[in-house]
Structure 1
Amino acid sequence: MKVFDDLKCALGEGPLWHPERKELFWFDITDKTLHNKGETRQSWSFDEHVSAAGWVDRDTLLMASATGLWQFDIPSGARTLVAPLKTDNPLTRSNDGRADAQGGFWIGTMGIDAEDYAGAIYRYYRGEVRRLFDRITIPNAICFAPDGRTAYFADTFSQQIQKVALDEQGWPMTAPEQFVDLRGEDLNPDGAVVDADGNLWNAQWGAGRVACYDPQGTFLRSIAVPANRTTCPAFGQGTTLYVTSASDLVKEEQGGMTFTTDAGVTGQREHQVIL
């Protein structure tokens, strides 16, 4: 892995490769900031936590914040509320999220101080926000199989990645079932993405790596990241993989930076959100 951007985020998260702009977007949740880098870096600051996004068109993102889902205009920096995130606990924020193949957008919420079971996972689809799963402490690893019929997610606190079958419109059809159990290795699943072959790439907080699992949940290989607190991967063009990270309390030199490497496999194109 090499450094893609040397900005040290307190909590780098939510990398998104915009396929039309050919630029990477990512967040510093703690700093309430969205970053973007093509030829140069650009940043936008907000008055609340922001954490994940999907692309709507060349100049528009759907961006998740502590209070809602927002239409974000990239050229002007203006945002317009699309839908509120109505949670039972006002002391929550958004966390991991990703667009699905049907044009929906999944977003997880959690307690600001990671309070036990304070979070949930929601889905926005054609104007509706519906809660899918609740009693989640740290929602992560939201991603989708290439055929759009399987979703993955994790509660980092549980050290397990789940999978759930989806119907044609992208709604869960069954109860989630275990996909990967990391408890025996004491590994903490953070953000994840699925490549074009259906393999899941999972950033593992505290382990300084991104691990790859086949569609049956079998470990294939891992790529070391020069930051202990890896948070989320994203595929860019071709076989390019990006990984965000968080600053470490031990002040490691590259903690919080964003990294890139050639993963040797082709990623899925990020799905387009339909507002």
Structure 2
Amino acid sequence: MSLPSVPAELAVESRCALGEGPQWHVASGRLTWCDILGRRLHWLEVASGATGHHELERMVSLAAPCEDGGLLLVGEDRLSRLDPAGGLEVPLCDFEADNPRTRSNDARVDRHGSLWLSSMGKGAEPGAGRLYRLHRGELVTLRTGLTIPNALCFSPGGEFAWFTDTPTGVVMRWALDRNGWPVGDPVPWADFSATPGNPDGAVVDAEGHLWLALWGAGRVVRLDHDGRVVAEVRLPVSQPSCPAFAGADLERLYITTAREGLSAEALATEPLAGALFVAETGVTGLAEPPLRLA
């Protein structure tokens, strides 16, 4: 039986060097995403199609909506609050500020309103990355010795977290307690080490299935509760980085992509690399809570 497959279409030709961190902001009706290497925060007003961006002073990988308004920027050396209307940025706390070799990477708010976030070496140095949880304003280290942490997402009831260290090709599942803290060690859940593409960003839908970007393969795959691929979105570019559901009913799947590392010849064959894409998957997303800082 063939795999259900739908194509992704161009949403915004943002030409990101490294698009990442798509995030739906309910209050503003906007999807935001970052160009980490380009130091820009992009936005799309989904209902009207209006777009724009903010220039940033540092590399940022996520802009998470906060419970009390505004955005939390997950940056290469600090976490900071941003007022998107006035553009005022206020530092919240340092983030590996004593290590200039690293930057932030994947991040997502969990079912408890806490932020899981990660770091990696700016040159993807093996073992330089870490995984953290920002819980009510306190930053706690969860795991060290990672290379490219990705695929942070959470089950609808908060029983599990998923993540991957991209070079391993394996998506891990981690049991969580009733307060959202990890219990025991993570276990292998889905293995892509022998298939084209490397696991990158991910998001969970309303049915508790995981949508995973496969960097290098031009696909986003849907995994069922047992980690089996049951559907896919095909893109006209090779480097999808992260999916996110957006829209009034979370009915559209948006996907960030990247131009990083592509040769001039490769870019000539995929001129839309770095754009934001959208797909009609026939399923809806899972609403994510805003970040609670206190």
- In the other structure, the counterpart of 2:38 is 31
Is 1:98 paired with 2:105? Answer: no
Q: Residue 227 of structure 2 is aligned with which of 214, 217, 221?
A: 217
- In the other structure, the counterpart of 2:19 is 12
Distance 2:179 2:55 in 1: 34
Moved more, 209-218 or 58-67: 58-67
Q: Deviations over 1:140-165 (max 9, x none)?
A: 10011100121011111111111101
Q: Deviations over 1:198-240 (max 9, x none)?
A: 1000001000010010111111111101110000000013321
Q: Deviations over 1:125-180 (max 9, x none)?
A: 10110110111111110011100121011111111111101112111012111111
Distance 1:58 1:241 in 2: 26
What's the CA shift for 1:88? 6.8
Contact 1:19 1:270 in 2 (8 A): no
- In the other structure, the counterpart of 1:235 is 245
Distance 1:119 1:86 in 2: 10
Q: What TM-score does the superposition give when structure 2 sets the normalisation length?
A: 0.90
Distance 1:131 1:100 in 2: 15
5+ residue gaps in structure 2? Answer: 1-7
What's the CA shift for 1:89? 3.4
Q: Residue 3 of structure 1 is aligned with which of 1, 10, 15?
A: 10
Alignment of 1:239-258 (within 5 A): 239-247=251-259, 248-249=262-263, 250-251=266-267, 252-258=270-276
Give the strand-richer structure, 1 or 2.
1
Give 1 or 2 for the bigger CA radius of gyration: 2
- In the other structure, the counterpart of 2:3 is none
Contact 1:53 1:97 in 2 (8 A): no
What secondary structure sits across from 1:157 in the alignment?
Answer: helix
Q: What letter matches 2:21 in structure 1?
A: G
Q: Deviations over 1:59-93 (max 9, x none)?
A: 51111001121111111111112222137733100
Distance 1:236 1:99 in 2: 15
5+ residue gaps in structure 1? Answer: none
Contact 1:54 1:271 in 2 (8 A): no
Distance 1:152 1:5 in 2: 28
User: What's the C-alpha RMSD, in Å, of the aligned pairs?
Assistant: 1.4
Q: How many pairs align?
A: 275
Distance 1:88 1:157 in 2: 25
Contact 2:34 2:62 in 1 (8 A): yes
Change (3 A) 1:45 1:133: same
What secondary structure sits across from 2:194 in the alignment?
Answer: helix
Change (3 A) 1:66 1:36: same
- In the other structure, the counterpart of 2:126 is 116
Alignment of 1:1-275 (within 5 A): 1-38=8-45, 39=48, 40-57=50-67, 59-86=69-96, 89-237=99-247, 238=249, 239-247=251-259, 248-249=262-263, 250-251=266-267, 252-275=270-293
Moved more, 57-66 or 100-109: 57-66
Contact 2:196 2:217 in 1 (8 A): no
Distance 2:110 2:245 in 1: 15
Distance 2:69 2:137 in 1: 20
What secondary structure sits across from 2:28 in the alignment?
Answer: coil
What's the CA shift for 1:32? 1.0
